A and B are shown apart, each in its own frame.
Chain A
Amino acid sequence: MHNSPVIRITVNGKAHSLEPPIDVSALLASLELAGKKVAVERNGEIVPRSAHANTLLADGDALEVVIAVGGG
């Protein structure tokens, strides 16, 4: 459907349906990640923290949200 009221994206490989318009900050808040130290990549490109609030998500976007964990 062309004027679909939702966009479908993947976050860390899992499908999410969202109501547009939605930016990266709003997405992180909806995932209970607001204020958490994370890094975001959208379709292979880093979305700097400073740009979270004005980067709108589009249908088909693939996001990676990462943290630092224990490792050698």
Chain B
Amino acid sequence: MQDLLTIGGKTYRSRLLIGTGKYRDFAQTRAAVEASGAEIVTVAIRRTNIGQNRNEPSLLEALPPSRFTYLPNTAGCYTAADAVRTLRLARELLDGHDLVKLEVLGDPHTLYPNMPETLKATEELVKDGFKVMVYCSDDPIQAQMLEAAGCVAIMPLASLIGSGMGILNPWNLQLIIEKVKLPVIVDAGVGTASDATIAMELGCDGVLMNTAVAAARDPVLMAKAMKKGVEAGREAFLAGRMPKKLYSASPSSPTEGKIAPKAA
């Protein structure tokens, strides 16, 4: 049986979502996305450079929206109003595409989410017909509020955006996974493949990352490693790990049939 991820009524084979920022060029972006196996890619919405874009390559050409599911974000937005405005532009730009990543930031130093504004924006976007995947704090109560507001995925940070600090609070992530029925996708903080594995072993439904791949010495190789990390963690979660036993060591080999100890 195939193990599929369902978000907003659509299914995906890959549980790794990739951001498209910070790469050397679009060719490297494309190569890393291909190596990661990701089907969902995040993009930002920005003013076009007037007068400098006649032959400027476009991200939409490098990553055709016919092949990848675009997830426009609201990076850089600090209010619900700015975020909603940005995603309305994104929907117009992408021909009515309604799956979006909401992030309303609290301050430029930590990029920690502003949850009251995030919740407000979620409500407004849901009312306007968007399918909203929400970057949020790893607070299980806030996660339940977002679920009640009608978003399609909860995306708690594992540590600060771009920090590469890994999974700092696995207990909170587990609480969220237990408390909400929606897909839980770790968004932000993953630094290397084992971090992605840990997130998946905890029972997360997916992992979204950008800097961990783009800022690796070899982004394409790291993308490949992340694919394996996510898959390994998912399979380990489905397999169900053995319980941890501090003081009752149990040998893996039979205790019977050992040859006789040599006579002293």
Interface residues of A (CB under 8 A from B): 11-14, 31-33, 36-41, 44, 46, 48-49, 64-72
CB-contact partner of A70 in B23, B53, B88, B93, under 8 A = B23
Distance of A64 Cα from B88 Cα, bound (Å): 12
Binding site for A on B (CB under 8 A): 19-23, 26, 29, 42-48, 50-51, 53-54, 58-60, 70, 72-73, 75, 85, 88-90, 92-94, 161-162, 188, 208-211
A68 touches B44 (CB 8 A): yes
Q: How far is the CA of A39 from the CA of B47 in the complex (A)?
A: 9
* Cross-chain contact of B60 among A37, A46, A71 (Cβ < 8 A): A37
B50 near A14: Cβ-Cβ < 8 Å: yes
Report Cα–Cα, A65/B53, bound state, in Å.
12
- Asked if A66 and B21 make an inter-chain contact with CB atoms under 8 angstroms apart, the answer reads no
If A12-B47, A37-B58, A38-B48 touch, whether A70 touches B90 (CB-CB below 8 Å) is no
| Chain A positions within 8 Å of B188 at CB level | 72
- Select B42's contact among A33, A44, A71, beta carbons within 8 Å: A71
Structural contact, B58 and A67, CB atoms closer than 8 A: yes
Contact check, B46 vs A72: say whether CB atoms are below 8 A apart: no
| Contact assessment for A65 and B47 in the assembled complex, using a CB-CB cutoff below 8 Å | yes
Main secondary structure of the interface of B (DSSP, over half): mixed
Instruction: Tell me which of B29, B92, B209 contacts A46 (CB under 8 A).
Output: B92
Highest count of chain A CB atoms <10 Å: which of B22, B46, B72, B75:
B46
Residues of B with C-beta under 8 A to A31 = 50-51
What's the least CB distance linking A37 to chain B, in Å? Answer: 5
Which residues of chain A are near B21, meaning CB under 8 Å?
Answer: 69-72
> Roughly how many angstroms separate A33 CA and B139 CA in the complex, as a whole number?
44
Residues of A within 8 A of B23 (CB): 70
CA of A12 to CA of B50, assembled, Å = 8
The complex places the Cα of A13 from the Cα of B26 at a distance, in Å, of 27
A70-B50 contact, Cβ under 8 Å, with A41-B85, A41-B89, A64-B89: no
Q: Is the CB of A70 within 8 A of B51?
A: no
For A13, A39, A72, the residue with the greatest tally of chain B CB atoms inside 10 Å of its CB is A72
Which A residues lie within 8 Å of B208 (CB)?
72
Contact A72 B75 (CB under 8 A): yes
6 residue pairs from A and B, CB less than 8 Å apart: A12-B48, A39-B93, A70-B20, A70-B21, A70-B59, A71-B20
Cα of A40 to Cα of B47 in the assembled complex, Å: 10
Across the interface, do A71 and B89 meet the contact criterion of CB distance under 8 Å?
A: no
Point out the residues of chain A lying under 8 angstroms from B44, CB to CB. Answer: 68-72
A13–B29 alpha-carbon span in the complex (Å): 29
Partner of B53, one of A33, A39, A64, A68: A33
In the complex, the answer to whether B50 meets A66 with C-beta atoms within 8 Å is: no
- A12-B50, A68-B44 known; 15 new pairs, CB 8 Å cut-off, are A33-B48, A33-B50, A33-B53, A36-B53, A38-B48, A41-B89, A66-B47, A67-B93, A68-B94, A69-B44, A69-B46, A71-B19, A71-B20, A72-B42, A72-B211
